[in-house]
Amino acid sequence: MAHPLVLLLFLSSLSIIPPSQSNLTTSYYQKSCPNFEHIVQETVTDKQINSPTTAAGTLRLFFHDCMVEGCDASVLVSSNSFNKSERDADINHSLSGDAFDVIIRAKTALELDCPGIVSCADILALATRDLITMVGGPFYKVLLGRKDSLVSFASHADGNLPRSNMTMNQIIRLFKTKGFTVQEMVALTGGHTIGFSHCKEFADRLFHYRAKSGIDPAYNPKFAEGLKNVCANYRNNTGMSAFNDVMTPSKFDNMYYQNLPRGLGLLASDHAMVVDRRTKPIAELYARNQTAFFEDFARAMEKLSIYGIKTGRMGEVRHRCDMFNSIQT
Ligand code: HEM
Ligand SMILES: *[C@@H]1O[C@H](CO)[C@@H](O)[C@H](O)[C@H]1NC(C)=O
Ligand SMILES: *[C@@H]1O[C@H](CO)[C@@H](O)[C@H](O)[C@H]1NC(C)=O
Ligand SMILES: *[C@@H]1O[C@H](CO)[C@@H](O)[C@H](O)[C@H]1NC(C)=O
Ligand SMILES: *[C@@H]1O[C@H](CO)[C@@H](O)[C@H](O)[C@H]1NC(C)=O
Ligand SMILES: *[C@@H]1O[C@H](CO)[C@@H](O)[C@H](O)[C@H]1NC(C)=O
Ligand SMILES: *[C@@H]1O[C@H](CO)[C@@H](O)[C@H](O)[C@H]1NC(C)=O
């Protein structure tokens, strides 16, 4: 009886690839840059071992890249004196320097091996998958052949990225405009099983909540106390942050969902997952069943990875990930 299920999974993973994007394949660089996968793998392994925050930083960087005009490495472009680029939008929320660094390292190695062949968008997509797998998450296929964007504007980040103070209605609507279901949104947000958030993202729940104590009663009291200590001076010490998954912060597992009903969800948007009637059953399923989470996360990541990609003349293969070819001399 396993066959119908396998077939269904197979069909649903095919149907997420619109015909116009069918130029992508897993073997895109097989002839032009046969060492591509090996070089990315080696670069991210080395980086993750030396800087364990790289995996989470890279996953978030990739998410932000894809949500704003598609997975086209537009988030990697540096601002210049004329235009403020995506990465310098206020909402870049202090994207991780390690994440930018690992992509630049892989690009540098690839430009030596096969100059001008591999796009920064493909490097970011593959590096993200390799890093997720490295910290315990599921493996999934990454289609290749994305081109890098020809534009990057800070203003385009507005309204395309979720914020921790959004209502669940707003979050669901945002993902829906990009073609993601509630279930896919809940699965993708399981990415908060790794990494951290800066105090300003949840300080309202600790110091300014509409309650006598000033603390959001949805927090586990001991957890809130610990967070208050960490964040006591967060306005002056803006680097202070807390793990998104306080139990197993550097392991990709389903602990994020197990934390939520215990008041250990860090962000207001995290806790909202077990309050809203549309998301609660899904979060509860993932808390019970890590296999279900991993399968759904992997499928949603495959879908995210081809969102809004550019192929053909819609983009270019950048020589440097932080600069358009047109302004390189
Ligand atoms: C439901 C909507 C979401 C909201 C409101 C949200 C919000 C946030 C916020 C505020 C932070 C902290 C940023 C900082 O202070 O540095 C964060 C971190 C993070 N987010 Fe999300 N996020 C959402 C969905 C997602 C999704 C779908 C993914 C992945 C597919 C993701 C992956 C991450 C990761 C890995 C981090 C940790 C980054 C690091 O350690 O450098 N988030 N998120
Ligand atoms: C700045 O933005 C304009 C469009 O508003 C674009 O045509 C131009 O190429 C950009 N310049 C640089 C240096 O990125
Ligand atoms: C994010 O944007 C701010 C300005 O809004 C900038 O100072 C910071 O360097 C940017 N972060 C990254 C990683 O580019
Ligand atoms: C959420 O926070 C941002 C920045 O901190 C603020 O500009 C925005 O108005 C807030 N949104 C809501 C719905 O409170
Ligand atoms: C934060 O910095 C300001 C200005 O430097 C100072 O007046 C204030 O006392 C500091 N606050 C705390 C809690 O240290
Ligand atoms: C967990 O989910 C997987 C995948 O959906 C399913 O095959 C399995 O039967 C579930 N396990 C339990 C104990 O419910
Ligand atoms: C597919 O690739 C061909 C040749 O590489 C290119 O001419 C065409 O524009 C691509 N199609 C799409 C939809 O990007």
Mean pLDDT of all residues belonging to the chain: 91
Nearest CA to ligand 1 atom 41: 57
Active site residues: 64
CA of 158 to the centre of ligand 3 (A): 15
- Give the CATH number of the domain where residue 262 resides: 1.10.420.10
252 and 136 in a common domain? no
157 and 30 in a common domain? yes
38 and 139 in a common domain? yes
Q: Does residue 251 carry a pLDDT above 90? A: yes
Nearest CA to ligand 7 atom 8: 312
Q: Does residue 140 carry a pLDDT above 70? A: yes
Distance separating alpha carbons of residues 137 and 298, to the nearest angstrom = 9
What is the signed CA dihedral for 296, 299, 303, 306, rounded to 10 degrees? 140
CA of 134 to the centre of ligand 2 (A): 38
Q: How many domains does the chain have?
A: 2
Pocket test for ligand 3, best of 76, 78, 94 (most atoms within 8 A of CB): 94
59 and 103 in a common domain? yes
Decide if 80 contacts 327 (C-beta within 8 A). Answer: yes
93 and 228 in a common domain? no
CA of 5 to the centre of ligand 6 (A): 12
Burial category of 151 from C-beta neighbours within 10 Å (exposed 0-12, middle 13-18, buried 19 and up) = middle
Please indicate, yes or no, if residue 317 is contained in any of the structural domains: yes
CA 170, 172, 173, 178 dihedral sign is: positive
pLDDT band at 87; cut points 50, 70, 90? confident
Residues 113-126 have a mean pLDDT of 98
Nearest CA to ligand 2 atom 13: 82
> Whole-model pTM above 0.85?
yes
315 and 250 in a common domain? no
Please list, residue by residue across 27-43, b when 16 or more beta carbons sit within 10 angstroms of its beta carbon and e when fewer do. ebbeeebeebbebbbeb
Return the closest-CA partner of residue 57 out of 191, 164, 189, 169. Answer: 191
Q: To which residue do tokens 């806790």 refer? A: 271
* Residue 327 CB less than 6 A away from ligand 2: yes
317 and 190 in a common domain? no
- Give the CATH number of the domain where residue 33 resides: 1.10.520.10
Residue 125's domain comprises 18-161+305-327
Residues 179-207 have a mean pLDDT of 97
173 and 277 in a common domain? yes
**For the chain, percent of residues with pLDDT exceeding 70:** 91
183 and 81 in a common domain? no
